[in-house]
């Protein structure tokens, strides 16, 4: 699918922030998120929000928030341990839906950033995120909406 540019509203999220190589922290964060959502019986859109550029940022400084979307005004339940509230900022986002078979989540992002200049937009340095449209944990088949905050070139 092609990249589209969308104006998105700010979005309230809850989950876990981890720092370190994404190949380790994303899985660890989702393990924490699964346990937390089951304990508190909370559901929402599952997302991974990425901070840093793996081509520039040292792996031990990359950051990810493994989160679910929650309504504005959401209050953390008691005994939420390390769970935190986050806000995905409003703005223009370049968006593309992709399908991932297996665990190579990096390739669609590489392709995405190679295609992005043709849109006339450039990244702002803000977050990138994966919005998981299905649960591929058993099948290893994932439908994902990828997005990065952008501005006109």
In 71-112, the DSSP E strands lie at 84-88, 91-101
Domains and their CATH numbers in the chain: 4-152 (3.20.80.10)
- Per-residue model confidence (pLDDT) at position 83: 95
Measured distance CA(82)–CA(19) in Å, rounded: 14
- Per-residue model confidence (pLDDT) at position 130: 97
Q: What tokens were used for 72?
A: 């504005």
Measured distance CA(22)–CA(20) in Å, rounded: 6
- Per-residue model confidence (pLDDT) at position 103: 85
Q: Are 128 and 92 in contact (CB under 8 A)?
A: no
- Per-residue model confidence (pLDDT) at position 79: 85
Measured distance CA(130)–CA(96) in Å, rounded: 10
Q: pLDDT tens digits for the chain (153 residues)?
A: 699 999 999 999 999 999 999 999 999 999 999 999 999 999 999 999 999 999 999 999 999 999 999 999 999 999 887 899 999 999 999 999 999 999 888 899 999 999 999 999 999 999 999 999 999 999 999 999 999 999 999
Q: Are 142 and 99 in contact (CB under 8 A)?
A: yes
Measured distance CA(47)–CA(145) in Å, rounded: 9
């Amino acid at each position: 699918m092609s990249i589209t540019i969308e104006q998105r509203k700010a979005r309230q999220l809850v989950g876990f922030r981890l720092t370190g190589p994404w190949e380790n922290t994303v899985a660890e964060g989702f393990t924490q998120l699964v346990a937390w959502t089951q304990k508190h019986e909370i559901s929402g859109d599952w997302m991974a929000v990425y901070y840093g550029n793996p081509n520039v940022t040292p792996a031990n400084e990359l950051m990810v928030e493994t989160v679910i979307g929650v309504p504005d005004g959401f209050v953390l339940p008691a005994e939420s341990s390390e769970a935190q509230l986050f806000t995905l900022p409003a703005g223009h986002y370049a968006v593309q839906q992709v399908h991932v078979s297996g665990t190579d989540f990096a390739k669609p992002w590489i392709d995405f950033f190679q295609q992005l200049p043709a849109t006339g937009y450039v990244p702002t340095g803000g977050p990138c995120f994966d919005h998981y449209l299905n649960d591929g944990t058993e099948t290893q088949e994932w439908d994902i909406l990828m997005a990065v905050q952008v501005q006109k070139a």
